[in-house]
Structure 1
Amino acid sequence: MQALTRISLKFVEKCLPNAFLLAMVLSIVVFLLGMIFGGQSASTMFNGWGEGFSKLFTFAMQMSLILLTGFVIAKTPSVSNMIDRLASIAKTPTQAIGIIAVFGMVTFYINWGFGMIAGAFMAREMGRRVPGLHFPLAVAAAYAGDIIRGMTASIPLLMATEGNFMQNVVGVIPVTDTLFSWWNLGLSAVLLFLVYWVFTRIKPEVDEIRPFKDVILDTPAEKVDTKGMPWVEKLEHYRILNLALAILPLGYIIVNFQQIGFNLNLNMLIVIFLAIGLLLQPSPASIGTAVKEGVLACRGIIMQFPLYAGIAGMVQVSGLADGISNWFVSIANIHTFPIVTFISAGIVNIFIPSGGGQWAIQGPIMLEAAKNLGADIPQTIMAFTWGDAWTNQMQPFWALPLLGVAGLSARDIMGYCLMWTLICGAAIMATFVLLSMI
């Protein structure tokens, strides 16, 4: 484990550019690949970039709202107190890393935005409390939980949504067949054990340890003295307004579930987490503060998402994604198809780190092939979903909010994440091999 970690750290230190530079480089590389291997003209690639640039605005807004509602929940007094109590348990760096890894995986399972921010806060609190803790390792352990495909996994949620773009091919696939299938829950449990086992066995040398440095001042919610305030300003500090507004999303959730059952999709999850944030935050003013900090933390996504949407447009118009997907499909059979889907999704995800955007390009190819081969459709969907998550571990795009809160750069944690990528990838592929034997 130590040898693998050192190799990963050295590789990242020498070869990984910062996240924004990586997006720029990938844009140029895909542009050139589209002309060289896709046989497209420069004007076609320009058009592909321009059309792709705006195509995912709706999905980008959904992702931003999931992150922001997760941030609002993470900044509530209830969650802050929970983090404080959990952090008080650790007495050694190894104990701290283990708690961070498990906490990160569990919170990412609930909501990736919530896990991203709550995991960063947990790492920061452990960094303050535990002497000798290597802070980059703590943050990497928190981010490792992003591998889990939980309640906010966009692809299975999309496929469970009435009117999805593949409904005419495979129909609506409920989350009970994908996210909440016995084999997917079992794989999630295995990864929870592995993330604890792997990260608690990494032992940095004494001269390598980088302690936590508080580069961001936390602003916990405090009771505000409203004496002398104009009445309209006082309203900003009354919790009753939060509770009154929460009636709307809560009422919609109840009515929706009564009418069409347990229907989890991206829009519904945003509503659910908005309701939770309204109930747990002490006032409208505290919500405004949390949202302000949340926008700052996800500024990298806001800035880079259009670039990756442009890359997705070029990949699509050039046929590069189709070529990769079709090549993998050509070498697959009914037993190997889920693993082939997993690897294919992982490769393309490096260029398009957006599950929904990538699924829009590759999904039709993979589902048509799965249907023709007689492969299991829910397993194909989840294999693609896991493949999309797999290479997120070595693509710093989605780590930007967590890094913003932690005050670190991608190079500080990606060596550990690369090592985790190799291990969790092997575990996921082994799971689909076993499923093919059943």
Structure 2
Amino acid sequence: MAAWTEKWFPDAYIFALAGVVIIAVAALAIGASPQSIADSFGNGFWDLTAFTLQMAMVVLTGYVVATSPPVAKLINRLALIPATARTAVSFVALMSMSVSFLNWGLSLIFGGLLARAIARRKDLTVDYRALGAAAFMGLGAVWALGLSSSAAQLQATAASLPPALLKITGILDFGTTIFTWQSLLTLAILMALTTVIAHFSAPQGGAIRTAEDLGVDLDDEPSESAPRSRPGEWLEYSMILPILAGILTLGWLVSQFLTKPFLTVVSSLNGYLLVFLILGLVLHGTPRKFLQAVTKAVPATAGILVQFPLYAAMAAILTKATGHGGMTISAHLAEFFSDIGGGGAFAVVIALYTAVLGLLVPSGGGKWLVEAPYVMQSATDVQMNLGWTVQIYNIAEALPNLINPFFMLPLLAVLRLRARDLVGFTFLQFLFHLPVVLLLVWLLGMTFQFVPPVMPAGQ
């Protein structure tokens, strides 16, 4: 499966381009005029500019924090905890998923560096492929159930929601999505399942392939900064400004918690990114070291920057290009899902649809903006709780990551491996996760009641 994926899967950008074409053809099929399709494409192309930057910053801030000296020291200490090869693999999986609850970008880099630190141990022989796959489990299993969930963050931030979607869903803070007991229970079950699978699937004996066997250099010593050569550079090498910026950020954060509801503060994507960015600055110590880390992090954001405008264009065509009877593609899809009815059947079909679409659109936030208008309208029509509908999406959203290697790219750069080295292990996780996910969204969905959308003031 891994070899087939690497050979036949094109770059994720091709999927995004193909998605625009497919949706444009579908709009023609329902009777939309070429002009309305072209207008929707061009007018909607930059609708997600703010959200695009926010998602790029999730990756960048996670990378910067994970590569800071204090976190690097913590990783080296954690690497000494596992006593056996199998516990080392399951330990990496558990740590990766735990960190992912805070930030999926941080989880990728943290997990990769932890895997490398364990692989450097002379007293332990561990399969490096299994360690790498375990490091991916934060993103491959539970990332969308954490605080950096693109869909949950988007639904909690009125300014980032397209107007058409805001009218359907209103504002859904984390109290209705991430922090429901049903979501937290799902998180705990999936973390336990993933850890057990990682433990028992770790190769033993002669089946082990170490980093040395794979030709991977494990030297992670940071490069030394060039010494200060001009008087004008002294602030670049000083901790004064980072400390002052940290104090300002801490003061702002305290003020937010004193003046606003807790869930409103933690649901704020802009506030979340501010804290992580300044935390990275403080942890690196000086502006010069911080900017060096940022430079290394920027390439990992390239896919987001060039793909999200295409997702915005898709969403615009779906919701604005009208065909026969004045209906959009979004309206037709909403009718289809509404016909399924409420309850378990709706939850299971939405979860399966989300997983399949994720193979073509490997982006949690971008895909939500494509999928949400008709899925959330259908949920309203069948009286499915809107917060749980977001979580159905979030639970199922991770499944295609276990097959499609797009989001492995930052981790692979850290591990210095190829996708085919990991996908054999992640596909095994997928085979176990799929039935469990479908069962959970069905059973737990029956514990919710429908709550009408809450519109922001002035809407």
Is 2:47–2:309's contact at 8 Å kept on the other side of the alignment?
no
Choose from 269, 276, 280 the match for 2:279: 276
Aligned-partner Cα distance in 2 for 1:175–1:138? 32
- With over 3 angstroms needed to count, the CA separation of the structure-2 counterparts of 1:309 and 1:419, relative to structure 1, is farther
Task: Structure 2 unaligned segments of length 5 or more: list them.
Answer: 323-327, 448-459
- Aligned partner of 1:201 in structure 2 is 200
- With over 3 angstroms needed to count, the CA separation of the structure-2 counterparts of 1:26 and 1:276, relative to structure 1, is closer
Give the 3-state SS of the residue equivalent to 1:204 in structure 2. Answer: coil
Give the 3-state SS of the residue equivalent to 2:174 in structure 1. Answer: coil
Give the 3-state SS of the residue equivalent to 1:99 in structure 2. Answer: helix
The AA in structure 2 aligned to 1:145 is: G
- Aligned partner of 1:252 in structure 2 is 252
Task: Structure 1 unaligned segments of length 5 or more: list them.
Answer: 1-10
Give the alignment's TM-score, normalised by structure 2: 0.81
The AA in structure 2 aligned to 1:218 is: D
Deviation at 1:239, TM superposition (A): 1.4
For residues 389-400 of structure 1, the aligned pairs below 5 Å read 389-400=398-409
Once the two structures are superposed, residues 327-368 of structure 1 have per-residue CA deviations (whole angstroms, 9 ceiling, x without a partner) of 343223234323232222222222222333222232232222
Give the alignment's TM-score, normalised by structure 1: 0.85
- Aligned partner of 2:3 in structure 1 is 13
CA RMSD between the two structures: 3.2
Aligned-partner Cα distance in 2 for 1:118–1:136? 16
Once the two structures are superposed, residues 305-342 of structure 1 have per-residue CA deviations (whole angstroms, 9 ceiling, x without a partner) of 55666666677769777655643432232343232322
Aligned-partner Cα distance in 2 for 1:173–1:192? 25
Deviation at 1:246, TM superposition (A): 2.0
1:116 aligns with 2:108: yes
Give the 3-state SS of the residue equivalent to 1:200 in structure 2. Answer: helix
Is 1:297–1:402's contact at 8 Å kept on the other side of the alignment?
no
Choose from 345, 348, 352 the match for 1:336: 345
Aligned-partner Cα distance in 2 for 1:68–1:156? 19
1:218 aligns with 2:220: yes
For residues 266-415 of structure 1, the aligned pairs below 5 Å read 266-302=269-305, 326-415=335-424
Is 1:242–1:279's contact at 8 Å kept on the other side of the alignment?
yes
Aligned-partner Cα distance in 1 for 2:19–2:151? 27
Which range is displaced more, 264-273 or 123-132? 123-132
Is 2:26–2:329's contact at 8 Å kept on the other side of the alignment?
no
Aligned-partner Cα distance in 2 for 1:313–1:187? 33
Give the 3-state SS of the residue equivalent to 1:27 in structure 2. Answer: helix
Deviation at 1:242, TM superposition (A): 0.6
Once the two structures are superposed, residues 86-129 of structure 1 have per-residue CA deviations (whole angstroms, 9 ceiling, x without a partner) of 11122432121011100100111111111111111111112222
Which range is displaced more, 69-78 or 308-317? 308-317
- With over 3 angstroms needed to count, the CA separation of the structure-2 counterparts of 1:416 and 1:41, relative to structure 1, is farther
Is 1:350–1:391's contact at 8 Å kept on the other side of the alignment?
yes
Is 2:401–2:407's contact at 8 Å kept on the other side of the alignment?
yes
- Aligned partner of 2:49 in structure 1 is 57
For residues 16-95 of structure 1, the aligned pairs below 5 Å read 16-17=6-7, 21-24=11-14, 27-28=17-18, 31=21, 35=25, 39=29, 54-95=46-87
Q: Paired residues, what number?
A: 426
Which range is displaced more, 413-422 or 251-260? 251-260
Deviation at 1:207, TM superposition (A): 5.9
The AA in structure 1 aligned to 2:186 is: L
Sequence identity percentage:
28
Once the two structures are superposed, residues 140-175 of structure 1 have per-residue CA deviations (whole angstroms, 9 ceiling, x without a partner) of 111121131101112222222345444444432221
Aligned-partner Cα distance in 2 for 1:33–1:279? 45
- With over 3 angstroms needed to count, the CA separation of the structure-2 counterparts of 1:276 and 1:339, relative to structure 1, is same
